[in-house]
Amino acid sequence: SQQGEEDPQALSIQEGENATMNCSYKTSINNLQWYRQNSGRGLVHLILIRSNEREKHSGRLRVTLDTSKKSSSLLITASRAADTASYFCATIQGGSEKLVFGKGTKLTVNP
Amino acid sequence: DAGVIQSPRHEVTEMGQEVTLRCKPISGHNSLFWYRQTMMRGLELLIYFNNNVPIDDSGMPEDRFSAKMPNASFSTLKIQPSEPRDSAVYFCASSLGTGRNTGELFFGEGSRLTVL
């Protein structure tokens, strides 16, 4: 079963708007990671947030982590057409030590 | 650094044939992962290695699948015999650290396999 589950499955917005994607997980974690995948390409790491961190920024990206709710969110501000991609969260599955990915959120940014 | 290099990028084969996918991880990385991606099942971890040793192969779907890492700079994923349901994109990734300390994964561009 998937450790991380992203929500929504698909999101379509206009350029300049903010995009928020959520991830829920089931077991305790050491860290949570977000990745981007452009169509036909490999995944690219965006940001890693540790279990003792609540918020992290990287450029236009803002990630929050709420370990009490076992959830994380990825906010992309001032979106651009180039942000069109699928976004995945990944966590270590409790006990197995395997990095498991959710099914992703497909983001479309319309120019 | 050239990043993680996978070959072939595309493979079309007939059912029953042997398929070998190859991966060169980033130099200095001590963990290597093989994932499979399909629309239905998303990204599935097949197997991962740490210091060339297979740590967890519980994701390998069947005995038809096998993976090796003979040295720190090369790994193969073999499917023999291949079946149409094996059609997917296979990704190799490498990282520093493993287990609960797994950090950023660096992915290759994937090998798109089509089994007719």
Residue B8: pLDDT over 90: yes
- Residues of chain A contacting B46 with CB distance shorter than 8 Å: none
Residue A88: pLDDT over 80: yes
Residue numbers of B between 69 and 88 with CB closer than 8 Å to A:
none
Q: What digits encode the pLDDT tens for the residues A19-54?
A: 999 999 988 888 899 999 999 999 999 999 998 999
What is the pLDDT, as a whole number, of residue A3? 57
The Cα–Cα gap between A41 and A38 comes to 5
What is the pLDDT, as a whole number, of residue B100? 62
Searching chain A, which residue's CA lies closest to the CA of residue B42?
A103
CB within 8 Å: B43 and A96 = no
* Band of pLDDT at residue A7, cut at 50, 70 and 90: confident
CB within 8 Å: B104 and A92 = no
Q: What digits encode the pLDDT tens for the residues B51-95?
A: 999 998 999 988 999 999 999 999 999 999 999 999 999 999 999
What is the pLDDT, as a whole number, of residue A95? 61
Searching chain B, which residue's CA lies closest to the CA of residue A104?
B42
| Chain mean pLDDT for chain B | 93
Q: How far is A77 from chain B (nearest CA, A)?
A: 23
The Cα–Cα gap between A39 and B37 comes to 13
Residue whose pair of structure tokens reads 């499955």 in the numeric block: A9
Q: How far is B107 from chain A (nearest CA, A)?
A: 6
Q: What is the mean pLDDT of residues A62-87?
A: 96
Q: Which residues touch A71 (CB under 8 Å, ≥6 apart)?
A: A22, A23, A24, A25, A65
Select the more confidently predicted residue: A109 or B103. Answer: A109
What is the pLDDT, as a whole number, of residue A93? 66
- Residues of chain B contacting A96 with CB distance shorter than 8 Å: 56, 58
Residue A1: pLDDT over 50: no
Partnered with residue A98 across adjacent β-strands are A93
Nearest beta carbon to residue B42 from set A48, A96, A104:
A104
* Band of pLDDT at residue B38, cut at 50, 70 and 90: very high
